[in-house]
Structure 1
Amino acid sequence: MSSELLDALVLLEKEKGISRDVIIEAIEAALVSAYKRNFNQAQNVRIDMNLERGTMRVFARKEVVDQVFDARLEVSVEEARRIDPNYQVEDVVEMEVTPKDFGRIAAQTAKQVVTQRVREAERGIIYSEFIDREEDIMTGIVQRQDSRFIYVSLGKIEALLPINEQMPNEHYKPHDRIKVFLTKVEKTSKGPQIFVSRTHPGLLKRLFEIEVPEIYDGTVEIKSVAREAGDRSKISVHSENPEVDPVGSCVGPKGQRVQAIVNELKGEKIDIVNWSEDPVEFVANALSPSKVLEVIVKEEEKATTVIVPDFQLSLAIGKRGQNARLAAKLTGWKIDIKSESDAREAGIYPVDNEKLLSFDEEDELGEE
């Protein structure tokens, strides 16, 4: 048994990266526990394993005392000196107490410990591999589903796709291949647990990185993403290179790049707009596809009032306010949309830049 165990430990060290010494320590600790459990012993014992010679021996450690009160833990001076004349009171004597049938128990215990350590090591390897892939995209295969999750195989492990992270316009069937976004990797007593999403804005961002080489190499940067999964999304893009059209790069020749992403997301509409440092320009772009006449910015409130032609008001707001809502998420600005006629009635359009003086400024001019 010992030679087979030694070979197994060498193999585990190579294949699983588990130190042989770590496993031997664990086996020795387990054998101590097994000895006490199987032989109803309370001694302080030590296991001596010699894998090369194929021996496993149990030694009871007893303290040398003048008067013995517990023979399991103590030994008299006289008895100790029969073993070695040099023993003194308070010394510790080791006496072999290996049971006859301890080999069978040892083999069974060693097997259990090795199996447990291998399982722990594999879990650790899987955790290390997937913790580095948090907020990344992977392709998985749908396995099964219950009332709370869809279980997606990622090869070495099954990931959990919760109901609230599933796209409303999708129906998942076993063996379907889907791309998922890894939102969280947790270490639990049963091994790593991985949660994935189909609705996370990060999924859209990663899909563009895959399909658009200019984004992958950093020539084009995705500045922000706003998404209502399964229905519509908006992304803002920018390039420091004036010769590169960031929107055109994302759309691709004949719309092939963006269409591949739309297909992956089962028809989700995607608006791609130019990012700008100027909130006037950025907000106007974000409300695409509607035309914008004017954007009035209130910096202190981080709010804007947007004037659009009367016939484009419903387009700017969108179905159930979706276009305006996504534009606000994309830009980080509050957006109040008014039609041209309402803005004229309110006296805020057309904007006369020469008359845009605050009351304080007008008072100062009057005092002069």
Structure 2
Amino acid sequence: MRIRPIARADVDGLLALAQQAGVGFTSLPNNREFLAGKIEASARAFEERTPVNNRLYFFVLEDEDNGELAGCCAIEGQVGNEVPFYNYRLGTLAHSSVQLDLHRTIDTLFLSSDHTGDAEVCSLFLRPEYRGEANRHLRNGALLSKARWLFIAQFRDRFPEKVLAEMRGVFDENNKSPFWESLGKHFFPMDFSEADRLTGLGQKSFIGELMPRFPIYTTFMAEEARACIGQVHRHTRPALEMLKKEGLRWEGYIDIFDGGPTVEAYIDDVRAVRNSRLYQVEIAADAPEESISRWLAASTQLSSFTAAWVGRAPVHDTIVLNSTEAERLGVTTGDTLRLLET
């Protein structure tokens, strides 16, 4: 398995991933024309043909055994510069009555664009057959998630101070969002899937136009909707745990539609960015394999960036690869790789 930049020829494979991702996966809409445009935007970013503050870096996880796309992930260089980036900020308002000697604090939701200009790690999806704890599938999710940090670390000057990730919110057994049913549907004359589709297609101006700009008291919402605030979809929990281990934290921001948490951190504080190091490559045909690959390696060229697990630890300033690993990563003796111990 290896991570590589998405190619223009991958449109059918990406569409298949979008069809499996389903409702609520806003950044991967089931729309071939839009996905082709996203691929083109990513290709132009890797070719450095777009402004650095408006770049989308999109990656796929490729199964080398059959050439299929097993998953995808992406990095938005900066959000909100062209299309508004909205979320709710959870706050508190205090009310008191001196005459009655009563004091109440009530949770509120404020419409916010506080993350404008931050980077975003997004669009992480892994096909169900590539998940799980068995054999080689064990580390596919980690490869998808962590490869993005090695890319950011290698090309640090292309990214701002902070990074965020929006996590998919809670849906019930009928695939409905309690948060949307209690709040969003009262302001948007459409169902969740349509609002989600429009947002995924980049049509976000209607959010600021239709949502109230005054604080929303959560006490007016249904109890099951309040319980969803800052909580994640059951399939999103592993991704959230990996982000938390890297140092991203929930600071009270949630998704407009499903109430899922937005986690964030200063990029230089992210564990994988801080701990990854550069090593020189040496190729040896008889390089021994370790029983468990603990080291993630990434190449250092922008347009041909590749990431994969390697079978042994570096020694001093050198990483020894066998010929298969070297071919997978597109490197030869004397080249440089960025490595992270996981």
Choose 1 or 2 for highest CA Rg. 1
What TM-score range do you get, normalising by the shorter chain?
under 0.3
The structure with the greater share of residues assigned to helix is: 1
> Taking structure 2 as the reference length, what is the TM-score of the superposition?
0.23
> Taking structure 1 as the reference length, what is the TM-score of the superposition?
0.22
